[in-house]
Structure 1
């Protein structure tokens, strides 16, 4: 009875195909939430540019959600690059992550329709939970020793910090939005430098690990 499960634990293609499909659909649905403005009866066509620019919050919500989902896809891909095998826990945690990804278009639509305190908090809360499911997936894989051999503990820690960076920023956004919604939106921009620093540290760590491996191999 154990043999079929062993074969299943080494098969990740179908799980990754499902993940890529759900993420691709979620990204596509984002643009469908942007409505085409209607020119009021009796108004000239020249008011259309003003109506389009008045939808700045819809475009902003689309771009932000697209980039965040895209970054989650990149991080999801990086997780499964390092996972050599999986178990039932990985499968269900991955489904939980996809559940949250599939919900992002609705949260983005709420923000686009109500770009006030509630809309900002709702979208930030959804993105926080999505990021936490990804961090939980990585934590579970590392604790269950499902990662590839040779991946140093420091690299695992840096990756964990990367996966927690987004939830941290969005929780901060929720707290700031309670006092100043505009500033709460601006806190989302912190994702750029934080991810840049962590990516740089991860690259340096992996280069050092590769260098040490080559030295040991020549001895």
Structure 2
């Protein structure tokens, strides 16, 4: 078949593919669900010292605090990134090869979070904190790239206010910037770096309130599910 005729036959299928985002979202949800489930494997069953009684079990469990912290934080961060990823595809009504590859980059880092959690659990000091924070930051930056590409290529729904697009971009950037800063802090004091992660909660709450206010200002956006 001549190339020109082949292109004519393929063009409609490419147009149809660009509007089909259900499989992309379903695949992403599956990868995120697997990653968040694998986190529990990093929790080890406490081992009692030889010759000790079960009475020391609470102490042994307490000594594993970094494992529980890593599990809880990783669960919450992956959950947050899932919420933000969902927000991205609520507003994207078509996609391109660029969207596919940026989404796969995001999933690549999501899949590595259980590994980073394992490093942090094994080395809950400078090395573990730096690796963990950098991996979470790269995940956030990849999601920011996905949103930036979609908005720049005008793949998001028509009528979405530019202010909402900017708030979304700022929110996507906020968490990874904080995490990257904590990685730098960890070089000098890992404990302060870990404590700085608490700031993720108020920072995301502030951006969430601003985003809701922006959505309420737009008739088109107010119909979008929260």
Matched, 1:21 2:36: no
Output the CA distance in 2 between the equivalents of 1:10 and 1:143: 17
- 1:211 positional shift: 9.0
* CA pair 161-43 structure 1, distance change in 2 beyond 3 A: same
Q: Which of 120, 124, 133 in structure 1 is aligned with 2:133?
A: 124
3-state SS in 1 of match to 2:219: helix
The answer to whether 1:136 aligns with 2:142 is no
SS at match of 2:133: helix
Shift of the 38–131 alpha-carbon distance from structure 1 to 2, 3 Å rule, reads: same
Whether the 8 Å contact between 2:32 and 2:78 is mirrored in structure 1 is yes
The 3-state SS of whatever aligns with 1:146 is coil
Distance 1:38 1:177 in 2: 29
**Alignment match, 2:6:** none
Q: Secondary structure at the match of 2:127?
A: helix
Q: Supply the distance in 2 between the matched residues of 1:183 and 1:177 (Cα, whole angstroms).
A: 7
TM-score norm. by structure 2 comes to 0.92
Which stretches of structure 1, 4 residues or longer, exceed 3 Å deviation after superposition?
none
SS of aligned partner of 1:3: helix
Query: For residues 140 and 120 of structure 1, what CA distance do their matches in structure 2 show?
Result: 30
What SS does structure 1 have at the residue aligned with 2:188?
Answer: coil
Equivalent residue, structure 2, for 1:34: 43
Distance (whole Å) between structure 1 residues aligned to residue 156 and residue 169 of structure 2: 13
2:112 alignment counterpart: 103
The answer on whether the counterparts of 2:140 and 2:176 sit within 8 Å (CA) in structure 1 is yes
Corresponding residue number in structure 1 for 2:7: none
Q: Does 1:2 align with 2:14?
A: no
Partner of 1:66: 75
The structural deviation recorded for 1:41 is 2.0
**Residue of structure 1 in register with 2:178 after alignment:** 169
Q: Size of the alignment, in residue pairs?
A: 213
Corresponding residue number in structure 1 for 2:196: 187
What is the RMSD computed on CA atoms of the aligned residues?
1.4
Contact between 1:172 and 1:187, CA under 8 Å: does it hold in 2?
Answer: no
Aligned to 2:217: 208
Normalising by structure 1, what TM-score? 0.95
Q: Deviations over 1:12-68 (max 9, x none)?
A: 111111101110010010011100011122111211111111100000000000000
**Structure 1 position 178, deviation (Å):** 1.6
> 1-side partners of 2:17 and 2:148: how far apart?
21
Residue among 141, 159, 162 paired with 2:168: 159
Gaps of 5+ in 2: 1-9
Q: CA-to-partner distance for each residue in 1:49-88, whole Å, 9 max, x for gaps?
A: 1111110000000000000000000000000000010000
User: Residues 160 and 220 of structure 2 are in contact (CA less than 8 Å); yes or no, is this contact kept in structure 1?
Assistant: no
